[in-house]
């Protein structure tokens, strides 16, 4: 199986969830071996997709290079991961990736429009070789060895519309599109004023997020999945773990996880050497078959 990029450029415009400002983004095919990079056109600055590029995880995953930042990358990166894309240039004229409808589905539609092109080099896989766990109170995230690509999450909110939700997801592209991609970000009305005082959630609305008051959901159309909240947590986790730069063969589990713990998990995985890179050639056996199935079905 070969590494992948997109076949043609695509462009979109939207507003940032936290900044409330309009941003234009163009996805361009990446050179073979270039990896995934962001380019702030307005600041003439490149930022690499890597755990060490993360500079903030407050309500979103934010990358930086000096004073230049790219924020709220997780929904776009979740879609990019689901299409098995290894090389890509993401050009934007502002700081924040547009929120679109609050899910990964619009980005998946753009990638369908762009198409997929195979590169010359073999695809690489990051295989988890031992368990790594990050914990903060009763919250935790972990990665452990598996012959499959699994994402499992549990959340527990003291709110009548959420409560305790659990979801286990065996990753393939087709399953992602059906079970995860449409799950939207969510927030609480009582926190909006505070978040806006911090310069966050300025672009949030019922068109790009699930909004909850003390009693229920304010969105007139309701939920897209009965357990949309925990599915969105998995969507975020896939986007956050994409910073490792290649597909992950292993099992991710979390309880009340979020961007901060996911970032700490990627750093712990690297620092503890709990991984190995496998180049997927015809001789790669089970890993080759599993990754080929994950990204070429659906």
Tell me if 104 sits within 8 A of 82, measured CB to CB.
yes
Q: Are strands 22-29 and 88-92 parallel, antiparallel or unpaired?
A: antiparallel
pLDDT in tens, 1-13: 899 999 999 999 9
Q: Residue 284: pLDDT band by 50, 70, 90 thresholds?
A: low
Q: Place domain 125-296 in its CATH homologous superfamily.
A: lpxc deacetylase, domain 2 (3.30.1700.10)
Closest CA to 111 of 5, 241, 250: 5
Residue 273 pLDDT exceeds 80: yes
What is the per-residue pLDDT for 24? 97
Structural domain boundaries in the chain: 2-121, 125-296
What is the per-residue pLDDT for 220? 96
Residues 6+ apart with CB under 8 A from 248: 125, 126, 127, 128, 143, 149, 241
- Provide the β-strand partners of residue 48: 37
Cα–Cα distance measured from residue 184 to residue 99, given in angstroms and rounded to the nearest whole number: 10
Helices (H), the chain: 74-82, 105-114, 173-179, 189-197, 228-241, 259-271, 286-296
pLDDT in tens, 98-152: 999 999 999 999 999 999 999 999 999 999 999 999 999 999 999 999 999 999 9
pLDDT in tens, 167-209: 999 999 999 999 999 999 998 988 877 777 777 667 888 899 9
Decide which of 3.40.630.30, 3.30.230.20, 3.30.420.10, 3.30.70.1230 is the CATH code for 2-121: 3.30.230.20
Q: Judging by beta carbons within 10 Å of its beta carbon (0-12, 13-18, 19+), is residue 95 exposed, middle or buried? A: buried
- CA-CA distances (angstroms) from residue 273 to 112, 129, 268? 35, 8, 8
Q: Provide the annotated active-site residues.
A: 259
pLDDT in tens, 210-237: 999 999 999 999 999 999 999 999 999 9
């Amino acid at each position: 199986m070969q590494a992948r990029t997109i076949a043609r450029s695509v462009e979109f415009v939207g507003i940032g969830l936290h900044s409330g400002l309009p941003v234009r983004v163009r996805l361009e095919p990446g050179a073979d071996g270039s990896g995934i990079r962001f380019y702030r056109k307005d600041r003439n600055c490149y930022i690499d997709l890597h755990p060490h590029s993360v500079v903030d995880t407050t309500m979103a995953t934010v990358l930086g290079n000096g004073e230049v930042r790219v924020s709220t990358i997780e929904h776009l990166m979740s879609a990019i991961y689901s299409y098995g894309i290894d090389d890509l240039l993401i050009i934007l004229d502002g700081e924040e990736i547009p929120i679109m409808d609050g899910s990964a589905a619009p980005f998946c539609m753009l990638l369908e429009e762009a198409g997929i092109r195979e590169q010359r080099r073999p695809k690489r896989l990051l295989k988890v070789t031992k368990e790594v766990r990050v914990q903060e109170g009763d919250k935790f995230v972990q990665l452990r060895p598996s012959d499959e690509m699994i994402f499992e999450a549990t959340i527990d909110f003291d709110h009548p519309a959420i409560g305790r939700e659990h979801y286990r997801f065996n990753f393939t592209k087709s399953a992602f599109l059906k079970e995860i991609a449409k799950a939207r970000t969510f927030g609480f009305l009582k926190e909006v004023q505070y978040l806006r005082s911090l310069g966050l959630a300025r672009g949030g609305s019922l068109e790009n997020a699930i909004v909850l008051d003390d009693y229920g959901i304010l969105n007139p159309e309701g939920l897209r999945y009965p357990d949309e909240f925990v599915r969105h947590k998995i969507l975020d986790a896939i986007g956050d773990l994409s910073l490792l730069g290649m597909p992950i063969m292993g099992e991710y589990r979390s309880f009340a996880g979020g961007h901060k713990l996911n970032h700490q998990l990627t750093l712990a995985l690297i620092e503890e050497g709990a991984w190995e890179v496998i180049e997927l050639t015809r001789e790669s056996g089970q890993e080759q078959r599993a990754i080929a199935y994950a990204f070429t079905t659906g």
